Every structure is written in C-alpha cells, then in structure tokens.
Amino acid sequence: MLSHFARAEIAWERTMIHHQAAVGEEAFAFDFAFSNRGPKAVTFTRIKPDCGCTVAELDKFTYAPGESGTLHVTFDGEGLIGTQEKSIQVTADDKPATTTMLTLRVTLTFWSKFEPALLTWPVRREPVEQSAVLVLLGTEPLRVIELTPSDATFTAQLKPTSDPRKFVVTVQPGSTAQAHDATIRVKLQSPTLAARTELLVVRVR
C-alpha cells in the first residue's frame, strides 16, 4: 500500500532507500514504486541523478489515472567506501507540476582494515621496524597480490599469521633525518570482484 509520500497526482511508496552492503558488494539495483492517483494521465518530464554512478530508468513516461509504475535505479559503488548518498530529481507534468527528490543511501562495507592504520617515527630517532596487522573482513576469498610503498625510502614486507585472514605488514624507514609521509599500498584481489587497495599511512614526524 502506498504511503503518505504524495504530491499532486503522483504518490511514491517511498522516497528514500537505505541499504547496508555486504563485504565486497559494489553493484546495486533498487526500485522506487509510485502510482498516479489523479483523474488525468501524468507524464514524467525529467529524471536527473546527481552523479554518473547512478542510473534511473522508467519503463515508460506517461501513466494513466490509477496506473502504477516503477523507477528502476542502479548504483555502481566500485572504488567507493563508507556511506554514499545519491539523489534523483524526478519531475512530472501533473497540476501543479511537481518535482520529487528520491534518495539512495548505501553503506559500503570495507574489505579490509589495518590495525593500527597509522605508523609514526620521531624525527632523528632510530628508524626501527614497526608493524601493523592487515585484517580481511567478511568471508569473500581475498588474496594479496601487491605490496608497494609510495616512497622508496620505506621498506615493507608482508608476513602470514596462523589466521588466514590476518597478515602482518612490517615497515621500516630508511632514514628519520627529515619529516615525511608515505603510504603502504596493499592490493587485494577477489575471484569475483574488482581489485581493491588498502592503505597504511606511515609518517616520520
């Protein structure tokens, strides 16, 4: 049954969808249902998503009195993390003409995380080796295919642990004579999903 989200003749079942993605889930499809509650046919004149990662399509543009329809929305979250909020502006020619803002909120789950996410060395102190644990989240089978410091003055190594979803990354700066920042890039690969990069921040301060 359609709720109270109604403007003029067009009534939307809902104007917001919130989805919690599973680990590794990056492609999404959602439907916004509506009906024409007015006495005349209504034509949608504009459908405008706020970014290129979101596509919105109707089966047709004109709906007779009492007729229902669905706006089909797809969202590509590849390379994105955290909560992503996307809007779709929908305009119809009912009287008065209405514009409805539909909202899609997707929380993308991290594939992995570093504990800790930052390693720091004091300036002009001994450049001792430090380590962080790379934790693979969820159940998606992942493997590390690349470990690359962004700054060649840092060296990094990946070591397995007794837990197949945890790795120790050891890092050592070549010098602590001057303050500088870098990242250790760990590239992860899945059999079914696009590769993803996890970053460990390293600093001499």
- CATH number of 23's domain: 2.60.40.10
Q: CA 158 to CA 170: how far, in whole Å?
A: 7
Per-residue pLDDT of the chain (205 residues; tens, 9 = 90+): 444 444 458 999 999 999 998 877 888 999 999 999 999 999 999 999 999 999 999 999 999 999 999 999 999 987 677 899 999 999 999 877 789 999 999 998 888 899 999 999 999 999 999 999 999 987 878 889 999 999 999 999 999 999 999 999 999 999 999 999 999 999 998 887 777 888 999 999 9
Compute CA distances 131 → 42, 109, 134, 204, whole Å.
63, 24, 10, 15
Domain count, the chain: 2
Please, what's the largest Cα pairwise distance for the chain? 80
| Same-domain status, 138 and 197 | yes
Where in the sequence is the domain holding 190, given as residue range(s)? Answer: 112-204
- Domain contains 162: yes
